[in-house]
Each structure stands twice: as C-alpha cells, then as structure tokens.
Amino acid sequence: MGWLSWLESLPLSDWVATSDWGYALMLAIHSIGMAAIVGLLLVLDFRVLGYASAIPISAFRNFTPYAWAGFFLNLISGALLFASTASRLVNNWPFLAKMACIIAAGATTYWLWRELRTRSPSDFEADSHSNVALIIASPLAKTLAVLSTALWLSAIVFGRLIAYVMDHAILNGQ
Amino acid sequence: MKKLAMLNLGLVAATGTLLVALPVCAHHAVNAQFDVTKNVLLSGELTKVEIINPHSYIHFDVTGPGKKVTSWSIETGAPGALRRAGLSLRDALKVGQTYKFVICPSRNGTPTGLMSGITLPDGRSFTFGAETNVEAAKDLTGGN
C-alpha cells in the first residue's frame, strides 16, 4: 500500500481530492474526453455495421486525431482522478472492470482499423468524385465493430458504478 | 442487410435503455439507503476521516447506555463541496475530539447514516441536505 498512499499525498493529487473545484474540473474534462473517444468510435462502428452507408468508411480516418486527443485528455484526467483516490480504487471491482474493458476495447479498435486498411481491392468502389472508398466492411470487421461498441459502452457503465460500490464498501466497514 | 439493421436497432435500443436507467438508479440511491425523513442526534469521538470523492466518510465511536461503544460510519458530501460550505474536513475534524452530529439513519439498521448536521468542539455548526433536514439538524443541535 506504500506507493498508493504516496501517490495520494502528492500536492496535485491532494488538490484534485480536496480543493473547491479540482475534482469537479477533472470529472468535466474526463466526460468531454470520453465523448470524443467513444462518440467518434461508436459512429465508426455503426458505419461498419451498415448505417449511414453514404459516408465512405475511409473518411473516418480524418477523425483519428480527434479520437486520440480525447484519449490523451482522459489519460491525464483519469491519472489525476486515480491519484486522488488510489488506495480505494485498486480494491474497487468496477474500476478494475473498467480498466480491463478499456484495454480490450483499445485492442479491438486497433484490430478493426487494421482490418479496414487491409481489405482486398474488390471491396472498394469509386465514389462520385472518383476517389476510392471502402464501401462494404468484411464480416470480421462487423464482428469487431459489435465487440468494440459493447466494450466501450461497458467501460462507461463500469465507470459510473465506481462511486456507488465504493460507498457501499465503506459503509460496510471495508 | 435488413436483418442486420434490425439487430443494430436492437443494440441501440438496449444501450439507450441502460444509459437512461443508470442515472435514475443513481438518483434514488441515497433515499434507498438512508431514511431522509428521520434525523437523529448523536455525540461521539472522531476515530477516522476519509477525505474522498464523491462522498467523504467520517467515523465516530458513540458510547451508549452501559458504556457500550458503537462505531458509526457517516456519509457526507464531496470534500470540495464541504469546503465551499465552509467546512474543511482536514482542518476542522481532529481524531480523538468529540463532536455532535445529526444523521439520517440507514434503513437496514446498521450503525451508518447520512450526515445532515455537525457541531464542532468550538461550537460552530454546519447543516447539509434538503431544507427539512437542515431545519431538523438546527433544531436538534440547538444551532444557528
């Protein structure tokens, strides 16, 4: 437990935990970052599954930097939120489930991107501007899109549960 | 394609239901756990303060009839919210000192509760929660 207490005792962690607005600010940033990552990736997943087929799948590549921006926003705000409550969070099952979901979701998204990039030429059609666009996703890509949606949404739900399970644990003397 | 669209629609509907249901359950959690229509005055020695978000916890040893000591765990607000209300948990609460506190007791009978008021050894009083709880806490502590 030593390093977790040390992490909590750092001035920045303490500012997040006990200042007037530190925790609320971190939560706000975390929500905005979450909207960017999960929002953009859900739209990609839904397109791969066949929605909004007028949009070429290859067009989604333009959103990659914004999804990454959301991810780094959440990596930083999440690290600070963790540092403010570290010793409680490592024993909190929704927190651990959320971390597992994010790792699995990230790997699934990576796999999906790779699958979309490596399709055979027959999967491509020329659009009205004569640009080549991937129109129909493979069954593997569709499976990955369903998995990605399920994992990202689970990460959000487990994230919501963290505080309630923590309260319950404390009130039950754990 | 049509079948797939239906499947997708189902996924969207299920997700939507889940996301709408969560805040509702969050909203009722406090009322489900604590009886917010009751306010009980206790006095005890502070044993531990947990300054955590989004709820802090304060633990007291309350000596009852026959010198029987019961350890109470009391839920209160986020540290930042309490600070904005004028109560710094770190500065105002000292382990070993005796505090008067008003709680909405748990529904399941365990020695736990939701704090609606606290009186510090120096006489300063703080009240929290809905108007009815604030009024009740002020009455019980004889505070301002």
CATH of the domain at B40: 2.40.50.140
Q: How far apart are CA A145 and CA A150, in angstroms?
A: 9
Of B19, B90, B112, the CB nearest to A18: B90
Interface with chain B: mutation pick from A44, A151, A170, A172, highest number of B CBs within 10 Å: A170
* pLDDT at residue B27, rounded to an integer: 44
Same-domain status, B76 and B118: yes
Better pLDDT: B36 or B15: B36
The verdict on B130 and B63 lying in the same domain is yes
Q: Are B106 and B112 in contact (CB under 8 A)?
A: yes
* Half-sphere exposure for A160 (CA within 13 Å, toward CB): 17
pTM over 0.90: no
> How far does B65 lie from chain A, in Å, by closest CA?
23
Mean pLDDT for B71-87 is 93
Residues 6+ apart with CB under 8 A from B120: B92, B93, B99, B126
How many domains does chain B fold into?
2
Answer for the pair B117, B16: CB distance below 8 angstroms, yes or no. Answer: no
Q: Give A119→chain B minimum CA distance, Å.
A: 20
Write the pLDDT tens digit of every residue in B94-140: 999 999 999 999 999 999 999 999 999 999 999 988 888 888 888 88
* Domain identity same for B55 and B89: yes
Examine the pLDDT at A161 and tell me if it is beyond 70.
yes
pLDDT score, position B24: 47
Contact between chains at B52 and A166 (C-beta distance less than 8 A):
yes
Higher pLDDT, B131 or B89: B89
Q: Is the pLDDT of residue A95 over 90?
A: yes
Contacts of B3 in chain A (CB under 8 A): none
Helices (H) and strands (E) counted in chain A, each on its own, are 7, 2
| pLDDT value for A55 | 85
Which pLDDT value is given to residue A121?
53
In chain A, residues with a C-beta closer than 8 Å to the C-beta of B18 are 153, 157
The pLDDT, as a whole number, for residue A1 is 59
Tell me: do B135 and B85 sit in the same domain.
Answer: yes
- Confidence class of residue B16 from pLDDT cuts 50, 70 and 90? low
Mean residue pLDDT across chain A: 90
ipTM of the complex: 0.76
Please name the amino acid found at residue A108.
T
Q: How many angstroms separate the CA atoms of A117 and A158, rounded?
A: 31
pLDDT score for B20: 57
What range defines the domain where residue B21 resides? 1-32
Q: Which range has the worst mean pLDDT, A56-65, A75-84, A115-124, B135-144?
A: A115-124
Report DSSP state, residue A161.
H
B70 shares a domain with B2: no
Higher pLDDT, A15 or B143: A15
Is A18 in a helix, a strand, or coil?
A: helix
Measured between alpha carbons, how far is B121 from B123 in angstroms, rounded to an integer?
A: 5
> Alpha-carbon distance B23 to A87, whole Å?
26
Q: Could you tell me if B96 and B82 lie in one domain?
A: yes
Round to whole Å and give the CA distance between B92 and B13: 49
Half-sphere exposure of B82 (CA within 13 A, CB side): 28
pLDDT at A34 > cutoff 90: yes
Asked if the C-beta of B30 comes within 8 angstroms of chain A's C-beta atoms, the answer is no
Which residue in A22, A61, A16 sits closest to A41, CA to CA?
Answer: A61
Q: Residue A50: is its pLDDT beyond 80?
A: yes
**Separation CA A95–CA A101 (nearest Å):** 10
3-state secondary structure of B93: coil
Task: Give the mean model confidence (pLDDT) for residues A145-169.
Answer: 95
The predicted-structure confidence for B27-76, as pLDDT tens digits, reads as follows 456 788 899 999 999 999 999 999 999 999 999 999 998 999 999 999 99
Q: Residue B105 has which token pair?
A: 């007791």
B118 touches B100 (CB < 8 A) = yes
If asked whether residues B134 and B85 sit together in one domain, one would say: yes
Q: What is the pLDDT of residue B26?
A: 45
Q: Assess whether B84 and B137 both reside in one domain.
A: yes
The more confident residue out of B22 and B16 is: B16
Residues paired with residue A122 on neighbouring β-strands, in sequence order:
none
Q: Are residues B73 and B136 in the same domain?
A: yes
**Average pLDDT, stretch B85-96?**
94
E runs forming strands in B10-128 = 40-50, 56-63, 69-76, 98-105, 112-119, 125-127
Same domain as B99, residue B58: yes
Residue among A151, A148, A71, A70 at smallest CA distance from A109: A148
Residue B56 and residue B127 share a domain: yes
Q: Which amino acid is at A145?
A: A
Same domain, B52 and B115: yes
